[in-house]
Structure 1
Amino acid sequence: MFLSLFLIFLSFFPFLVLKAYGAGIAIYEQGVSGLGNAYAGAAASAEDGSTIFYNPAGLTKLTKPEISLGTHVIIPTAHFKNTGSIKADKTPLTGNNGGDAGVIGIVPNLYVSTPINEKFFLGIGINSPFGLQTEYDKNWVGRYHAIKSKLITINLNPAMAYKLNSKVSLGLGANFQRAEAEITNAIDFTKYGITQDGFARLKGDDWSFGWNAGILYEPSENTRLGVAYRSKITHQLKGKVKFENISFPLSSIFHKDNVKARLDLPPMLSFSGFHKLNSKWTVLADITWTSWSRFEELRIKYDTLTIGDTVITTKWKDCFRYSIGLSYQPTYKWVFRSGIAYDETPIAFDKHRTPRIPDTDRFWIALGLGYTLSEKLKFDLGYVHIFFKKSYIDKDPVGEDERRGGLKGYYRGHVDIISAQLRYSF
């Protein structure tokens, strides 16, 4: 059964949308039941198998073998407005505003868990913790900076938990992560006396390893506190670059080549609380810190090309995510969830915001419900609307961005997320 679910799960990955729905390029949508609470209490609630991602110690709360399969449909909108983009020679950058850079996509999650005995528990999760996808019109004003940007991560997360006593549980997991990246952009050849743009496409991939761990403390039957940590992961992406619309003699400079790039993904630390006020009402809260300061640049190195490295300076900062939630369970069959969250951007300066990742602060409003179909089968549904703060981009037309142009303008956008999940316990 697990093999069949695994193959179904992998079939969703070509449609993954990967954009900044968490801080930077983090993806928080790793489970559906928690989405209705805006993931407040995610490291303490341990409601289903997604606790493998949020806090593996929570496996001790899943006392029966269980499979959960969830899907998130993410509907983003991101519009750029040009306010005076120019080249190094002060002439205007031509082109439109790029259309809607958001790409509708699907993020699936799969979790399997089982108790071994009263003390020891095992589980495995498959998810996508990081990613990005934006795509603009090919003739837009920022085409020398970005046209298409796509990053997919596929993460295999086996985990185990041990119940020390009635109050304390410990959890540990391993993360085997594959990253696949694709970026495209136009190339300005006017300095060579050629008015037609060139076109570059880079692809690369890598496997890397990390870990996650957590502690779950239960001071009383109605209260749980969770602390969880996910380690940093470094990918050494390797692949190819190909060029199109290259006229002679530039074909001797811009030709197919091998490329490599280092991608530094951050560690994360979460503190969560879960408290049942009574038989019907539960309050939840969470603070998550993400160390994006280790992501200072994306540097693409070429094997034989003489054009020099392609460098995108980010200089991101560490940031926090805050969330609170409320659940109401009027009957055994029904539970209703709500939550809000504030998610800080790691981008400190407008000059370091790139159209590949036009990230900004965002505010979540979440709603969800759960329904018990039978003793073994449960269904969860969630909805989130994310408000994006207006964000500005101000690239210098000289220096690092000279050959890409001085892109200047602002972004407006929002995201809607609709998620559904089935949980089956044996």
Structure 2
Amino acid sequence: MKSASSLRIISVLVLGLGAGGAYGAGFQLLEQNASGIGNAYAGSAAIAENASTIFFNPAGMTRLPGVNVSAGATAVRPSFKFSNTGSTGPGGLPLGSNNGGDAGSWGLVPNAYLSWQLSPDWYAGVGIGAPFGLMTEYDGDWIGRYHSKKFSIESININPSLAYKVNERLSVGAGLNWMRLDADYRRNSPAAGLITFLPGGIANPAAPIVAGSPDLEAKVKMDGDAWGWNLGVLFEATPSTRIGFSYRSKMKINASGHTTIRNASPVPIPTRFNASTSVELPDTAVLSVAHDLNSRWQILADVSWTGWSSIKSLEIDNGDPRFSDDLDLRFRDTWRLALGANYKATPRWTLKGGLAWDQSPVDSARYRPTSLPDSNRYWVSVGAQYNINERTTLDVGYAHLFVKSTSIDNDTDPSKGVVRGDYKSNANLIGVQVSHRF
């Protein structure tokens, strides 16, 4: 067994996350506006109905004359409930019977956008949001406490953009992205690992005392930032059909901070380390269609790809090889499919609906981390848009995410034991967005 202070920090993974509480495949956040929730984000790169198009496809700004503002928030309530089917502790340590409770909790994902028309053909804008995010928190003495107890992530992404109207049918756009991430991750580690620090190791008379000591409690806090870019194209194939394509680049985060350890008194070891890591967040590509069947009905569709294979394994460096390790994830690239429809019931009211299938980058029970018990999910969404007046709209949306029972059999690190069981998961999203044109 490696020493308990050799912390395999799953927070390396979490450093790629965004606003706490959000829930998308992997740790990607689609909730960059609330107006798209009602359609399960179908048609995201083609609809361009408010200034939030800056994130989904900056070329869509050319459909927004004058100055436009849009702001909103999405409340997200994920649920992760674990059932044990044979977990074992490191070195045979007892784990108890606590399944951890519900590791999900409420979170809020805000966003804000501003676009303005510089000339008949040029448009500029800026958006603020969080493209990645998730939070899980278990009971402190749960069965998987040596894998993770809690992680909480906050992030901000600022996205200035430009768009150019090539002609009446074709527009292009591009933007820069600056993202900052802050992570707080906690887990336990058995004190028995400190025996390797005793002269003589297991033969030392103090070894039984050390082995019977309380768990060590490890916490890592890290932050970092990175630059990236995005681009988009919007093409009007017919007066009633628009096709949009958008791409967001990878972003390499170099994060640093500190790892601290509590309850290390049986053996004098360092309790604070300088910590650093690097992770390459995935790129994404989206192809969307928006088609007006008639004056009342609009059909939306999306196919998107996320390059999660950029994260195969992650390593945290605590400044000493004895205290550093890596996390084996083996993420795969993923696809998402979405269909939606809008119905203009009255001049003021538009009703929305949508369905989506969202593939998870985690496709193996062995490499499924307790901090991210992710699996494929299905979206069922409804929403409504109310035109307060000719310049102001209010959007509300609700989505329920169905996740099949997810197995976990993570034995990749013997010093943390084996977590074996099943997760029952789901999520509910409720969003509100206000948009205004000056």
Where does residue 343 of structure 2 map in the other structure? 328
Where does residue 11 of structure 1 map in the other structure? none
Matched residue SS, 2:59: helix
Residue 100 of structure 1 aligns to which amino acid in structure 2?
D
2:75 to 46, 61, 73: 73
Give the aligned CA root-mean-square deviation in angstroms: 1.4
Query: 1:76-106: per-residue Cα shift (whole Å, max 9, x none)?
Result: 1110111111135455533410000002110
Cα distance between partner residues in 2 of 1:22 and 1:75: 12
Within 5 Å, which residues of 2 pair with 1:149-188?
Answer: 149-188=151-190
Cα distance between partner residues in 2 of 1:37 and 1:88: 46
Matched, 1:296 2:312: yes
Where does residue 206 of structure 1 map in the other structure? 224
Task: List runs of 5+ in structure 1 lacking aligned partners.
Answer: 1-14
Cα distance between partner residues in 1 of 2:303 and 2:102: 32
Matched residue SS, 2:173: strand
Q: Is the 8 A contact 1:85 1:92 kept in 2?
A: no
Query: 1:370-415: per-residue Cα shift (whole Å, max 9, x none)?
Result: 101122221110000001111111022xxx5111111111100111
Matched residue SS, 1:131: coil
Q: Is the 8 A contact 2:407 2:421 kept in 1?
A: yes
2:259 to 231, 235, 241: 241
Q: Is the 8 A contact 2:183 2:222 kept in 1?
A: yes
Query: 1:324-347: per-residue Cα shift (whole Å, max 9, x none)?
Result: 000001222111100000000111
Where does residue 381 of structure 1 map in the other structure? 396
Query: 1:204-240: per-residue Cα shift (whole Å, max 9, x none)?
Result: 0011000000100001221100010000001011000
Q: Is the 8 A contact 1:95 1:139 kept in 2?
A: no
Where does residue 267 of structure 1 map in the other structure? 283
Residue 137 of structure 1 aligns to which amino acid in structure 2?
D
Structure 1 or 2, whichever has the larger Rg, is 2
Residue 211 of structure 1 aligns to which amino acid in structure 2?
W
Matched, 1:216 2:234: yes
Cα distance between partner residues in 1 of 2:394 and 2:90: 57
Length-normalised TM-score, structure 1 = 0.92
Matched, 1:307 2:309: no
Matched residue SS, 1:307: helix
Residue 223 of structure 1 aligns to which amino acid in structure 2?
T
Where does residue 123 of structure 1 map in the other structure? 125
Change (3 A) 1:234 1:18: farther
Query: 1:102-130: per-residue Cα shift (whole Å, max 9, x none)?
Result: 02110001000111111001110000001
Cα distance between partner residues in 1 of 2:319 and 2:148: 22
Cα distance between partner residues in 2 of 1:94 and 1:45: 52
Where does residue 423 of structure 1 map in the other structure? 435
Cα distance between partner residues in 2 of 1:247 and 1:308: 17
Q: Is the 8 A contact 2:19 2:153 kept in 1?
A: no
Q: Is the 8 A contact 1:232 1:266 kept in 2?
A: yes
What is the Cα deviation at residue 314 of structure 1? 0.7
Cα distance between partner residues in 2 of 1:89 and 1:184: 21
Where does residue 350 of structure 1 map in the other structure? 365
Residue 232 of structure 1 aligns to which amino acid in structure 2?
K
Matched residue SS, 1:299: strand
Cα distance between partner residues in 1 of 2:253 and 2:403: 29
Matched residue SS, 2:174: strand
Matched residue SS, 2:62: helix
Matched residue SS, 1:375: coil
Cα distance between partner residues in 2 of 1:409 and 1:40: 34
What is the Cα deviation at residue 270 of structure 1? 0.4
Identity of aligned residues (%): 38
Length-normalised TM-score, structure 2 = 0.90
1:98 to 94, 97, 100: 100
Cα distance between partner residues in 2 of 1:199 and 1:229: 41
What is the Cα deviation at residue 348 of structure 1? 2.1
Where does residue 22 of structure 1 map in the other structure? 24
Cα distance between partner residues in 1 of 2:136 and 2:91: 29
Q: Is the 8 A contact 2:21 2:104 kept in 1?
A: no
Q: Is the 8 A contact 1:216 1:226 kept in 2?
A: yes
Query: 1:15-35: per-residue Cα shift (whole Å, max 9, x none)?
Result: 94245x222110000111111
Where does residue 416 of structure 2 map in the other structure? 404
Q: Is the 8 A contact 2:330 2:367 kept in 1?
A: yes
1:282 to 298, 306, 326: 298
Matched, 1:228 2:246: yes
Cα distance between partner residues in 1 of 2:164 and 2:395: 27
Residue 416 of structure 1 aligns to which amino acid in structure 2?
N
Matched residue SS, 1:53: helix
Cα distance between partner residues in 1 of 2:310 and 2:21: 20
What is the Cα deviation at residue 308 of structure 1? 3.3
Where does residue 317 of structure 1 map in the other structure? 332
